[in-house]
Amino acid sequence: MVFEVDPESLRTAADALARLPADIDGSPSVGADQVEGKLTGSVVGHSLGQTTALATQARDALKARFSHFSQLLAHAANTFDDNDMAVAAQLAAVTDLIPAGADDGH
């Protein structure tokens, strides 16, 4: 698939990604922590009780990645020099929003 990139399309994409953390914040909580303590002695109950904290951690990771990628796209738009190959080189280092097996604290 071939497509052309220009500063405006980069800014549009950056703006869309920048709004995603607020969308994530607006999504309902998992609420599974309410189960813990009600299924005393149950491994399932304990595991369910932990999912709210784990879901929060996952949401924080996604918000950080979306914000970071938005900043990269905005930077690419601001430094665009009529050559989308230069932008492609800048963005080539970003392979995944969440690298497999990586733990960078987010």
pTM: 0.71
pLDDT for res 97: 56
Backbone angles phi, psi at 64, to 5 degrees: -65, -45
CA angle 53, 54, 58 (to 5 degrees): 120
pLDDT for res 67: 93
C-alpha dist (Å) from residue 1 to 16, 41, 56: 22, 54, 36
pLDDT < 70 positions in the chain: 1-3, 36, 83-84, 94-106
Burial of 40 per CB tally in 10 Å (0-12, 13-18, 19+): exposed
pLDDT for res 71: 92
60: three-class secondary structure by DSSP: helix
- Report whether 77 contacts 10 (CB < 8 A): yes
pLDDT for res 101: 59
